Amino acid sequence: MPKLALASIHKFEEPCISGTRGSGTVFFSNCNLNCIFCQNYKISHEGYGKEISIEKLADIFIKQQARRVHNINLVSPTIYIPQIIEAIKIAKTNGLEIPIVYNTSGYERKETIQMLDGYIDIYLPDFKYMEDELGEKYSNTKNYSAYAKESILEMVKQVGNLEFKEGILQKGVIVRHLVLPNHVKNSIKFLDWFKENLDGKAGISIMAQYFPTARAFQTDLNRKITKREYEKIENHLYELNIRNGYLQDIGENEEAFVPAFDLSNIE
């Protein structure tokens, strides 16, 4: 059974996802990664949430649509894919029409993404690590970059180029990259790979919102990124002339944007 922690209207995704009416997020409990810096550790590490039926999940999709959100945003859905597919089938027979967003860590098998063909309109994957040793150190993963590359290329092959309607994304892939303190080279390598393989085919979102939480305080990730670090990445992005992207400003109170996982709209 799928386990959920929150269904909400989120207005702080990329502008083409949240738009003016917000994104209809559905937060799933547990995760196929174990990132020591996860801001959602309450649900990803500790498993907080409530098990519901597939029929109830489909009903949540319909109720989110009724709130006039721009899309259904499935957050950390990987381990529940068979149940999600069945829920989408039910919801579509009951009138679900808005785009469905697959919001994922990027650590997926190609075969997993192929299962979703025809059910997902927008893919919103992370690309966390070009340097696999960082994946092992911070997320307990093996060969992160190989899996992320293969799965993201399959996503683009599946849904094609970005398609918008009145500024709101209807179809396509936006690849997110969270900049980590002390690891500018990892970000530079990611930008180089994106330019070579995806520029003009997918969007990019460079995020500056990192803050230490969970188990990150005992590592070299125990601080926010500096303006100097971020400027190096910005400059490289401009040098590469990458199209279709977002650059997030460095903020001061990123912690305030973490949702309150209180089972709202689940029970």
CA distances (Å), origin 129, targets 51, 126, 189, 243, 257: 31, 9, 9, 21, 23
Report pLDDT for 11. 94
Q: pLDDT tens digit string along 183-194?
A: 999 999 999 999
Report pLDDT for 255. 80
Query: How far from the centroid of its chain's Cα atoms is residue 30's Cα?
Result: 14
Residue 262 falls inside a structural domain: no
Domain count across the chain: 1
Report pLDDT for 79. 96
236 backbone dihedrals φ, ψ, rounded to 5°: -70, -40
Report pLDDT for 251. 76
Residue 124 falls inside a structural domain: yes
- In sequence order, which ranges of the chain are alpha helices (DSSP H)? 15-18, 41-44, 54-66, 81-93, 110-115, 132-139, 144-159, 184-197, 227-240
Residue 222 falls inside a structural domain: yes
Give pLDDT tens digits along the chain (267 positions).
999 999 999 999 999 999 999 999 999 999 999 999 999 999 998 999 999 999 999 999 999 999 999 999 999 999 999 999 999 999 999 999 999 999 999 999 999 999 999 999 999 999 999 999 999 999 999 999 999 999 999 999 999 999 999 999 999 999 999 999 999 999 999 999 999 999 999 999 999 999 999 999 999 999 999 999 999 999 999 999 998 999 998 877 778 778 889 999 997
Report pLDDT for 72. 98
Side-chain-side CA neighbours of 6 within 13 Å: the count stands at 19
Q: 46 is in which domain, residue-wise?
A: 3-257
Residue 110 falls inside a structural domain: yes
Full-model pTM: 0.97
Residue 265 falls inside a structural domain: no
Residue 65 falls inside a structural domain: yes
Report pLDDT for 246. 95
Both tokens of residue 81? Answer: 């894919």
Residue 100 falls inside a structural domain: yes
Q: What is the CATH number of the domain that holds 216?
A: 3.20.20.70
